[in-house]
Amino acid sequence: MHTTNYTNTLITVSSDCPVTAGTPPAKPGTVADRQYALLRDAPYAMTSDELLLAVECDRKGPVTAESFFAKAQACLRASPLVKKQGYGLHHDAAGRVALVAMESDAYARLLADAAVVKRAGMRSGRG
């Protein structure tokens, strides 16, 4: 079974992100909106795998973790929250995830912390 979980890692905002501050998704029902709602309402409550599975189940109906992760899934480096909305995603020591707005003091502290692994968010375009 594949996993998307990280520990003690900050997924940084994509270098081509079009905003300069964390911005909630405007379009209801999108993957970004669903991820945002779950992370906003319960920071550090679920792992990346749990988040992706919850969003998949919300979108398409019940799916088992075994079937969903039987093939590799894109990790949160590809999340629209990182690519378009201006949020970093911090994974704590237990692998649980929280939103961190790019303009926040918390984001700056995590960037400066040598003990936190940094993984760049994926770019939206080429070039």
Question: pLDDT 10s digit of each residue in the chain, 127 long?
Answer: 799 999 999 999 999 999 999 999 999 999 999 999 999 999 999 999 999 999 999 999 999 999 999 999 999 999 999 999 999 999 999 999 999 999 999 999 999 999 999 999 999 876 5
- In the chain, where the domains are located: 9-120
Q: How many of the other CB atoms lie within 10 Å of CB of 97?
A: 29
Q: Report strand pairing: 87-91 vs 9-12.
A: antiparallel
The predicted pLDDT at position 127 comes to 56
Task: Tell me if the pTM is above 0.85.
Answer: yes
Name the helix (H) or strand (E) containing 87: strand 87-91
Dihedral sign, CA of 96, 121, 85, 100? positive
